[in-house]
Amino acid sequence: MQSRGQLRGRSRWRSTGTRRTFLGACLALAALLSLAPQKAAAVEVCPWCKNDPALMAAAGVVSHGPIPIGPKGSEEIVRTLPTTLWVFLETAHLRWASNLGPCAVDLKDKPRVEAELARLRLALPTVPEKAKKLDPFLRLHLFAMRGEELYARFQKLLQVTDADFPAERQAQGPYMGNGRFLGEKDKFEVVIHNVRATHVPFSQSFSGAGVTDSLRWHFKEHHKLIASVPAEDPDLRQDRWLFPHVAHNLSHLFFCAYKHFNYDPPIWLDEGLAHAVEKEIDPESNTTDGEEGSLRDTSGPPDWKKAARQLVLSGKDRSLADLLHAKEFAELDMDANIVAWSKVRFLMETEPDKFREVPGAREGAIGRPGRAQRPEPGGPAAQRVAGALRLDARRAGRLLARLGQALSRGHGPGAGPLAPAP
């Protein structure tokens, strides 16, 4: 039995479609060909932490596997998805699986890579200062390190810490969900595939749908959320573009998990936040959510700040009221994505308390008394919002109030009744 919450999640988080039917057929063929030589994955020891408990602890690594990732764990992934090498890594809040091969470091990308290597070297002294090539273990170590950094950033945005999330739902006090991981019981998971030939059967094995692009899924029974990411297209083969794309997807996972995934959060806020998180990592990176999952999208303008200004000047920016009605990611065209991002950035920069309250308001209270006040119509908050959204202050105040109400119900206006929290 599935609750309505999960069904809504399903319909938004994955869908079938015909846009890439031909590609689908090619993929099926590629999958057959690539899986034909049933070669067992080699078991290798990580050359960086060497599976040494002291080094692993220093690098925040809980395990290099086997780990309980995906529906049936890492051993099932190795057994059912033959590839050259699967690398697994578990940290305090995330689990990773990857069959990425080695990658060359682009000359232009050297400063970023070297800065990351320096951070990792604090824990793992044999990590080189400079590298022309990253092996699969080093790549995943860097991803895992950045994943925990992202988790910390996200907690800072919501102004929460691990201590705010008890392992079980509390009878007393504010509702903070059902578990230690932002309100979910289990860790967040990312499976990165070097080809769609492993992504498609993997994601199909639990979602029932063969989606060509990145898929997010909520394992209701495990109380955990996962993203399966194919890194086959040329840009996503480079870690410079792959990590921000993963971060976009993780932002969706984190935000849906916040205080337990009982409802879909409002689309514009969920999407705007994911863009903001992604663009903090690389302002030129852009992921959009569409019919076939989420994909790196190069169709939009490279400079979203400029694009947002132009939309406002041309009067084409969608009002908050319009955005509040969106119920599917596919309803957001590129302009709406840009506007959602700019509204979230605006909240982050000028109304950090408001931003903190917004997701918190989903349950009617932020968790600390006194932080969930509604903005006064026409008050200072409304005036700042009005300035940014080109509305008069009273209308901005009404919009903020309406937003607060919508969020405290956990969905946008116009949505039907929701299933009770399990």
Binding residues (CB under 5 A) for Zn ion: these are: 46, 48-49, 271, 274, 289
> In terms of CB distance, is 197 or 277 closer to Zn ion?
277
CB 194 within 8 A of CB 81: no
Output the smallest distance, CB 179 to Zn ion, in A: 24
Which residue has the CB atom at the shortest distance from Zn ion? 46
> In terms of CB distance, is 49 or 247 closer to Zn ion?
49
> In terms of CB distance, is 37 or 53 closer to Zn ion?
53
Output the smallest distance, CB 329 to Zn ion, in A: 6
> In terms of CB distance, is 142 or 307 closer to Zn ion?
142
Is beta strand 133-134 parallel, antiparallel or unpaired with respect to 215-219? unpaired
Output the smallest distance, CB 383 to Zn ion, in A: 30
Output the smallest distance, CB 46 to Zn ion, in A: 3
> In terms of CB distance, is 216 or 354 closer to Zn ion?
216
> In terms of CB distance, is 251 or 262 closer to Zn ion?
251
Output the smallest distance, CB 314 to Zn ion, in A: 24
> In terms of CB distance, is 143 or 151 closer to Zn ion?
143
Output the smallest distance, CB 98 to Zn ion, in A: 12
> In terms of CB distance, is 120 or 382 closer to Zn ion?
120
Output the smallest distance, CB 25 to Zn ion, in A: 27
Output the smallest distance, CB 338 to Zn ion, in A: 13
> In terms of CB distance, is 127 or 274 closer to Zn ion?
274
3-state SS track over the chain = CCCHHHHHHHHHHCCCCCCCHHHHHHHHHHHHHHHCCCCCCCCCCCCCCCCCHHHHHHCCCCECCCCCCCCCCHHHHHHHCCCCCCEEEECCCEEEEECCCCEECCHHHHHHHHHHHHHHHCCCCCCCCCCCEECHHHHHHHHHHHHHHHHHHHHHHHCCCHHHCCCCCCCCCCCCCCCCEECECCCEEEEEECCHHHHHHHHHHHHCCCCCCEEEEEECCCCEEEEEEECCCCHHHCHHHHHHHHHHHHHHHHHHHCCCCCCCCCHHHHHHHHHHHHHHHCCCCCEEEECCEEEECCCCCCCHHHHHHHHHHCCCCCCHHHHHCCCCHHHCCHHHHHHHHHHHHHHHHHCHHHHHHHHHHHHCCCCCCCCCCCCCCCCHHHHHHHHHHCCCHHHHHHHHHHHHHHHHHCCCCCCCCCCCCC
Output the smallest distance, CB 52 to Zn ion, in A: 9
